[in-house]
Amino acid sequence: MAGIFDIELHDGETTNQDESDDDVIESNVGDYDTAPSVDSMLEGGNLFARSENVERVQLSEQNVNPGQEKTGPQDFELCKILGEGGYGKVFQVRKITGKDKGSIFAMKVLRKASIIRNQKDTAHTKAERNILEAVKHPFIVNLMYAFQTGGKLYLILEYLCGGELFTYLDREGIFLEDTACFYLSEIILALQHLHNQGIIYRDLKPENILLDGEGHVKLTDFGLCKEHIQDGTVTHTFCGTIEYMAPEILTRSGHGKAVDWWSLGALMFDMLTGVPPFTGSDRRKTIEKILRGKLNLPQYLTADARDLIRKLLKRQVAQRLGSSPDDAEQIIKHDFFNHINWQDVISRKLVPPFKPSLKSADDTSQFDEQFTATVPVDSPVESMLSESANMIFQGFTYVAPSVLEEMYNQPRVVTPRSEQRLSSSHHRRNHGFTPRTPDANLRPLSHFHHHRLTVPGHHSADDTEMMEVGPMPGHV
């Protein structure tokens, strides 16, 4: 996210922590002109002004970046609804114009009026768009286009027809260790890439991991990411999905990249046992268990799996695997991954354990019928923003370099703005879970989920303490 969009003002330095394994977390809520005038140079007898070859040109869309593809909602045919929530909808769409005519994408539509009500939501939306532009990786969803109208923002993403990893996990009950190892290895490389860019993800969970047509992982939903996080710097936003939140987020003591490795440990536990490691009958009990509860590991897990989970789920950040400047390298070298060829992982040469059963490239069978069976309509905007309000989203438009390369048949560089489930559903209900519903590629601030409590990042303790899981928010 560009610096101008980085409005979070609570960053600071980490403090020393007690490194005891048995501790629990207690929660307390001159030489040249630096600004030369071009006009004075031209009007003051400057050499360039006296040249007969100098021509004054009025800048316009026609002579700045000529040929730049102009894309809007009219260039896409709505096919299916993949998900919806409080801020908008996600559609499966078909491009009906341009060089990529006929291509299938996922189109995320957000209402500006809903977003600008909260400064944090505005910042997170911009961060999501900017991160998607800046980050290109085999295991991260690709942004193809971004554009806006007077009342809405549009993100056009690659369509990941394999659906959510959650779907497969819920169907199988639990994963075998080799299966979990495959998914974890691809996720680790995606998180490592984000961390190398100074980005923490903060919302790792099965619902935010989609599969492509071959069954490889793609991380989605970057609305809770935080940029400009380097070693030694922390941020304080209270956000994420409770069951996968690191203790330092819950205690608001300041957090950095290591929160993603705690979430990876929680995800690994979920894959191998059927539920996240710390769950309660309500949110307060879940938080209490995350901060103080004993980690119980089933004996059927191998010694390497148990060891890795323990080291990822260390409450004291300094003791957590991945917390050092080596970051992911510590995890990659763990014995649980001894049989993994990491070059084969990044090259996508490993054979996925599950290949989605698909009839065509536009198959939506891996998404919930409660959405896909609904007539796809991009609802009209009820109210338009003022010109000044619209300026908040200036610079939102984007066309992927791959699209430009195809248009011009030559390389183009776009500089980023910133660099088996234990009795499955029955078991989850007995642990305070309600059935999860697969929804969409990239949900704004995870509001497309109502079965887990996802905290969108407000700083107010009063706000967060009063949040409860409620019904699905209204339509666009």
Active site residues per annotation: 203
Q: State which amino acid sits at residue 343.
A: Q
- Determine if residue 29 is labeled as part of a ligand binding site: no
Is 358 known to sit in a ligand binding site? no
Q: Is 88 annotated as a binding residue?
A: yes
Residue 174's nearest CA partner among 264, 266, 272 is 272
* CB-based contacts of 345, cutoff 8 Å, min separation 6: 185, 186, 189
Q: Which residues of 372-398 are buried (b: 16+ CB within 10 A; e: fewer)?
A: beeebebeeeeeebeeeebebbeebbb
Q: Is 314 annotated as a binding residue?
A: no
**In what helix (H) or strand (E) does residue 90 lie, and over which residues does it extend?**
strand 88-95
What stretches of 323-362 show up as alpha helix (H) in DSSP?
328-332, 342-346
Beta carbons within 10 angstroms of residue 425's beta carbon: 14
317 is in an annotated binding site: no
SS3 category, 82: strand
- How many whole angstroms separate alpha carbon 298 and alpha carbon 313? 15
Are 128 and 327 in contact by the 8 Å Cβ rule? The answer is no
d(C-alpha 121, C-alpha 126), whole Å = 9
Q: Is 404 annotated as a binding residue?
A: no
Q: Is 82 annotated as a binding residue?
A: yes
Q: Judge whether 108 is annotated as a binding position.
A: yes
As annotated, the binding site includes: 82-90, 108
As annotated, the binding site for ATP includes: 82-90, 108
